[in-house]
Chains A and B, each alone.
Chain A
Amino acid sequence: MYVQHELSWMTRTGHPPEDMEQTALTETEQQLATLLARIVPLPADFDAQSDLIDGLAMESMQVMEFVMEAEDHFDVAIAQDKLADVRNIAQLAVIIEQL
């Protein structure tokens, strides 16, 4: 699956390949996945629905770092209460697109 290949590549390098095409991930999700890969290794089967806490075993400090990375990348402010129900990058992408 192309998405899995692409994310595995990002896991190793921390950024996606330059010739990356649009895939099942939305543009915002792809950018979030790139940011996420700088903080935790992404498994081969990672997708937009992968659970950040249970699936990737992210600790709270890592989640905070990820959110700050996203804020700076998208130049937005994301209040913590908006994140209460966020479990994956698909949900985070929706919040960012609504800001």
Chain B
Amino acid sequence: MSLLSKFAAVAQTRAALGDHDPTGVVMERMLSATRALINGRPTLLAGTNNYLGMTMEPAAIKAGQEALAEAGTGTTGSRNANGTHRAHKLLEEELAAFYGYPHAMVFTTGYGANLAVMSALLDAGDAVLLDAHAHASLFDGAKMTRADTYTFRHNDVDSLDKRLRRLGEQAASTLVIVEGLYSVTGDLAPLADIDAVTHAHGAMLLVDEAHSLGVIGEGGRGVVESAGILDTVDFVVGTFSKSLGTVGGFCVSRHAELGLFRYASRPYIFTASPSPATIASTRVALAMLRDQPERRVHLQRLCARLRAGMAQLGLPVNEVPTPVACVPLPNREKALDTWQRLLDNGLYVNVMLPPATPGNEAMLRVSIGAAYTEADVDEIVLKLGEVLD
């Protein structure tokens, strides 16, 4: 059988989508942090991760432009070779200071950050225990290791407790992995309880704050801050590609050993480092995230407004308002049809189809950010209501 024969099934799946290919959407021109030209039509974007509106922030753009002119288009090498500029080190220091930890590491993508941290930390004989709804990068990271991999029921502390108990002595060399804010359903992890149960069994906790950095917590440090576990959580991983508006990833930790991961992580060692422009824009965005709490306050108001609007439409809502909401639909055909009708009506959302969805359900994902107005949120709810009736 040819190596390429497996693509027959992929081709069949693609053909079944017909003209409704949600992976083929092209943003022909960005009009602002909240709108783009799609199919020649100005479209309101309610399916990005631009939670603080940083992609179009003039100061971040200017810093990137200056770094591009001063340091060039790329580093051409990995961090452990020629790919560490002074700015990479400064960003690491700034991230560590932001969290109040001694160490931070910067990676080229958020996906890579998870692979890098997990592959450094976990070895044969260790175990990793993942929330069942954790991001694909965390499951891929587990596959890179020789550790035993287990899952527990989403956000279910009792399920976690049972599994740690079953691991017996191996619990002491187990890494529990959860997300702060889940990217599709928009719900928060009960981190205080998860942290307590994890440490009661002698295990360690890694929290992926990809969708909660800058969004949750009084200082924008994510759910680890709002849950009050900054002093006890072992590793926090995050990304620059959402609330910071660039691309890249990081890990911070209270453990000094994080500084040694640079010598033990293949995804870190064998990846070209982030470009100077990316680092420069990220540093400005991080400073703004830290120093401009008003962005977060405005976003929280919008989240509450979105949540109320969704509830009025009779849609399920999370207990805590977040920038992410989901619209469950009965099947993939209905989801694709609804998604296309919204796009045709000038609203871009994400469509999530099984098997890549929590609960194996078809759903739409709706997201907003601090660059939106109350009128934008009302427009999102109005357009959803028009197609869901």
Let me know if B150 and A79 touch, CB within 8 A: yes
Residues B163 and A61 in contact, CB atoms below 8 Å apart: no
CB contacts (< 8 Å) of B247 on chain A: these are none
- Does A85 count as interface, using CB distance less than 8 angstroms? no
A71 interfacial contact with B, CB 8 Å:
yes
The CA-CA distance from A75 to B168 in the complex, in Å, is 12
Residues of A with C-beta under 8 A to B94: none
The reply to whether A59 and B151 form a contact with Cβ atoms under 8 Å apart is: no
Chain-A contact segment, one of B193-201, B212-220, B355-363: B355-363
Selected contact of B151 from candidates A62, A68, A76, CB within 8 Å: A68
Q: Quick check: B357 and A80 within 8 Å, CB to CB?
A: no
**Which chain B positions have C-beta within 8 A of A80?**
142, 148-151
**Cβ contact within 8 Å between A61 and B355:** yes
Q: Check: A22 CB closer than 8 A to any chain B CB.
A: no
| B355 near A59: Cβ-Cβ < 8 Å | yes
Known: A64-B132, A64-B151, A68-B159. Contact between A75 and B166, CB under 8 A? yes
Q: A77-B167, A79-B150 are in contact. Are A61 and B162 (CB under 8 A)?
A: no
Chain B proximity mask over A45-83: 1 for CB below 8 Å, otherwise 0: 000000000000001111011011001100111111100
Other-chain contact of B354, A59, A64, A77 (Cβ < 8 Å): A59
Question: Would B355 and A77 count as touching, CB distance under 8 A?
Answer: no
In the bound assembly, the distance between CA atoms of A77 and B165 in angstroms comes to: 9
B152 at the interface (CB under 8 A from A): yes
Give the residue among B163, B355, B357 with the most A Cβ atoms within 10 A: B355
Q: Which residues of A are found within 8 Å of B167, using beta-carbon distances?
A: 77
Asked if A61 and B159 sit within 8 Å, CB to CB, the answer is: no
A77 CA to B160 CA, complexed, in Å: 11
User: Distance in Å from the Cβ of A64 to the closest Cβ of chain B?
Assistant: 6
Structural contact, B162 and A72, CB atoms closer than 8 A? yes
Return chain A residues, CB-CB under 8 Å to B127. Answer: 79
Docked-complex contact A71 and B163, CB < 8 angstroms:
yes
Known: A61-B355, A81-B148. A76 touches B166 (CB 8 A): yes
- A68, A77, A81: which contacts B153 (Cβ < 8 A)? A68
Q: Interface residues of A: mostly helix, strand, loop or mixed?
A: helix
Count of A residues near B, CB < 8 Å? 17
Cα A81 to Cα B149 with chains together (Å) = 7
- Most interface-central of A59, A62, A65, A68 (chain B CB within 10 A): A68
Alpha-carbon separation in the docked complex, A76 to B148 (Å): 14
Q: Which residues of A contact B359 (CB under 8 A)?
A: 61
What is the minimal beta-carbon distance from A23 to any residue of chain B, in angstroms? 30
Q: Which of A71, A75, A76 has the most CB of B within 10 A?
A: A71
Contact A77 B166, beta carbon cutoff 8 Å: yes
A76 and B163 CA atoms in complex are apart in Å by 8
Chain B minimum-CB-distance residue to A60: B355
A9–B358 CA distance with the chains assembled, in angstroms: 28
Bound complex: CA A75 to CA B159 (Å): 11
Tell me the smallest distance from the CB of A43 to a CB of chain B, in Å: 19
Separation of A59 and B359 alpha carbons in the complex (Å): 10
Provide the bound-state CA to CA distance between A64 and B129, in Å: 13
User: How many whole Å from B361's CB to the nearest CB in chain A?
Assistant: 9
Q: Which residues of B contact A62 (CB under 8 A)?
A: 355, 360
Most buried by B among A59, A67, A77: A77
CA distance A60 to B163 in the complex (A): 20
**A79 in contact with B148 (CB, 8 Å):** yes
Taken together as a complex, chains A and B put the C-alpha atoms of A62 and B361 apart, in Å, by 11
A72-98 near B? 1/0 per residue, CB < 8 Å: 100111111100000000000000000
| In the complex, chain A residues 2-33 whose Cβ is within 8 Å of any chain B Cβ | none
A61 and B358 in contact, given A71-B163, A71-B166 (Cβ under 8 angstroms): yes
Bound-complex Cα distance A72 to B161 (A): 12
Residues of A within 8 A of B148 (CB): 79-81
The residue on A at minimum CB distance from B127 is A79
Residues 327-357 of B at the A interface (beta carbon under 8 Å): 354-355, 357
Given contacts A61-B357, A62-B360, contact A68 B149 (CB under 8 A): no
Q: What is the interface of chain B, defined by CB distance below 8 A to chain A?
A: 127, 132, 142, 148-153, 159, 162-163, 166-167, 354-355, 357-360
**Complex A-B: 5 CB contacts under 8 Å:** A64-B132, A67-B151, A71-B150, A79-B148, A81-B148
Name A's B-contacting residues (CB within 8 A): 59-62, 64-65, 67-68, 71-72, 75-81
9 more A-B residue pairs beyond the given contacts A59-B360, A61-B357, A75-B166, with a C-beta to C-beta distance below 8 A: A59-B355, A61-B359, A67-B151, A68-B132, A68-B159, A77-B166, A77-B167, A78-B150, A79-B127
